[in-house]
Amino acid sequence: MTRLSVNINKIATLRNARGGNNPDVVKTALDCERMGADGITVHPRPDERHIRRQDVLDLKKVLTQEFNIEGYPSKDFMDLVLAVKPAQVTLVPDSPDQITSNHGWDTAANQDFLCDISTALREAGIRASIFVDASPEMVELAAKAGADRVELYTEPYAGNYLSQGPETAVAPFLAAALTARNCGLGLNAGHDLSLVNLAFLKKTIPWLDEVSIGHALICDALYLGLEKTISEYKKCIL
C-alpha cells in the first residue's frame, strides 16, 4: 500500500500571514487524519516562516498517524527531531533561505555527513529518508550512507509529464526506483505531485511506500474541500 502523507506547511503559511491561530495547524492535521491521510508532513525552517518549532512539539502530542519531519540536518534541526522522535525524518539539502526544495542530495560529496546523520536517527529509532534526484548512483550512495528510504524529488517528473509525455517523464524515476528496490531501500516520492500526474507514477512504480504532497493538495482543497481532495488523492494511489 502506498501511503499519503499530507504536508501542512501551507496551512501554517496562511495562519502566519495574519497572526493568531486561524487556521489552526494542529486541528487541520487532526482533520486530515480523520479524513483519511496516512501521515502528516511538516518542514520547519530556521526562519519559521510556516511551520514553527512549537507546531512540531504540539503535533507530536496528538497525531495518531505517521509523523514525517523534513529539513536540513543542522544542529538545531537534529536537536528538535531527536527530542520529538517522529516516525520518519526526511533529510533535504535546502539552504536556510530557500523557498522550497529544488534538488536532491549529492550523496557522493556528502557521504560521510549523511552517514553520521543517518546513524544518529536510526539509533534514536527514527526512520531516515534521504531526498535524492532520480539518479541510480545517488540512490545507491544513499543506501551506502545508511538510509532506510529515499524520497525521489519529483518536480522534473511533474514538469515533463505534460510537455514530454508521461512515459518519457517517468523513465528516470523508474530506473531510480528499481535501484532503490535492489538496494533494499524503502521508496518515497514528493514535490509537485498532483491529481494530474500522481496516478501514472503509482501505476509505473507500484511499490512506492509513501507520497508526501502539500502545495497541490491544498490548492485543490480550495475548490473541492479538504475531505474530498484527500479522498481523490487516495484514489490515485490505490
Catalytic residue numbers?
A: 43, 70, 191
Task: With beta carbons less than 8 A apart as the criterion, state whether 45 and 96 touch.
Answer: yes
Assign 129 to helix, strand or coil: strand
Q: How far is CA 56 from its chain centroid? A: 15
Q: CA–CA distance from 39 to each of 67, 200, 210 (Å)?
A: 6, 22, 9
- End-to-end distance of the chain based on CA atoms, in angstroms? 7
**∠ at Cα 92 (91, 96), nearest 5°?**
125
> DSSP secondary-structure letter at 223?
H
| The residue type at 207 | W
Select from 36, 11, 67, 68 the least CA-distant residue to 230: 36
Which DSSP letter does residue 28 get? H
> Which residue type is seen at 150?
V
Coil, strand or helix at 209: coil
